[in-house]
Amino acid sequence: MAKIKDIKGQKFGKLTVVSFKERDKNGNFIWDCVCDCGNNCMILGLNLKRNSTKSCGCILKTNPSAKKHGLRNTAEYRCWSHIKSRCYNKKSTNYFEYGGRGIKVCDRWINSFENFLADMGLRPSDKHSIDRIDVNGNYEPNNCKWSTRKEQANNRRNNVKIINTETNEIFNTMTDAAKSINMNRTTLYTQLKGISKNKTQLKFYE
C-alpha cells in the first residue's frame, strides 16, 4: 500500500489542504480542503496534484466562461485558441508576425471563448476564417470578421511589391519572392525588415 505523502497546508488553486480524510475503494487518497470562499470539501489527491480541481465549485458559479460550453472541438474554438497562441506563444511559428509585432487579443476575448463567439458568431462556412480588417490592429470585435482565403489574401500585410535587384523581376507577395531564390519566407522577411544581418538581392519595391 502506497505511503501517504503529507500535503497538509499546501494550496492548490483556491483550495488549502486541511487534513487527510480517508482512502477511497481504489486506494486513492482523499483530503479535507477549505476553499478561499470558505466552503469545506473532500478532494482526491490526484486531482489536486494534476490541478484539475481548483475550487469547491465556486469558480463555475462566479465565472461563466469557466463553464463547459461543449464547443471545444469546433472550428470556432480552435480559431480562438490559435489567435491567442500566435499573439502570446513565442514558440508559435507565426508569433513574429503577430505577438512579435505587438498584436494582442482584446481583454473581452482573451479569457472568454463565449464572448468571442457572441461577438463573431459561427463562421459562415468551412472556407471562412478570422480576418483582421486593419492588419496592424488587434484581435477585437470592431477589427475582425469572417473572411474567405481570397478575401484575406487581398488584405494581407505581406502583399507588397518586392524587386530582385539583379534581374529586375518584381514579385507581388513575400511568398513568391522567397520561392524565386529558394529561401524560407520567414528568413526573407527578417532580412527585408533588417532584423537579420544577412543580405539578399531582393528589396522592397516602391
Domain residue limits, the chain: 11-62, 75-153, 162-204
86 pLDDT tier (thresholds 50, 70, 90): very high
Q: Which of 78, 130, 71, 65 is nearest to 103 (CA)?
A: 130
190 pLDDT tier (thresholds 50, 70, 90): confident
Q: Which of 64, 11, 15 is nearest to 37 (CA)?
A: 15
Quote the CA–CA distance of 122 and 78 in Å, as a whole number: 12
Residue 195 pairs in a beta bridge with none
Which range is most confident: 72-76, 85-89, 134-138? 85-89
Judging by beta carbons within 10 Å of its beta carbon (0-12, 13-18, 19+), is residue 97 exposed, middle or buried? Answer: middle
Higher confidence at residue 28 or residue 99? Answer: 99
Quote the CA–CA distance of 133 and 151 in Å, as a whole number: 10
Q: Which residues contact 88 (CB under 8 A, 6 or more apart)?
A: 99, 105
Average pLDDT over residues 36-49: 82
pLDDT mean across residues, the chain: 79
Mode of pairing for the β-strands spanning 128-132 and 40-44: unpaired
pTM for the structure as a whole: 0.45
Judging by beta carbons within 10 Å of its beta carbon (0-12, 13-18, 19+), is residue 167 exposed, middle or buried? Answer: exposed
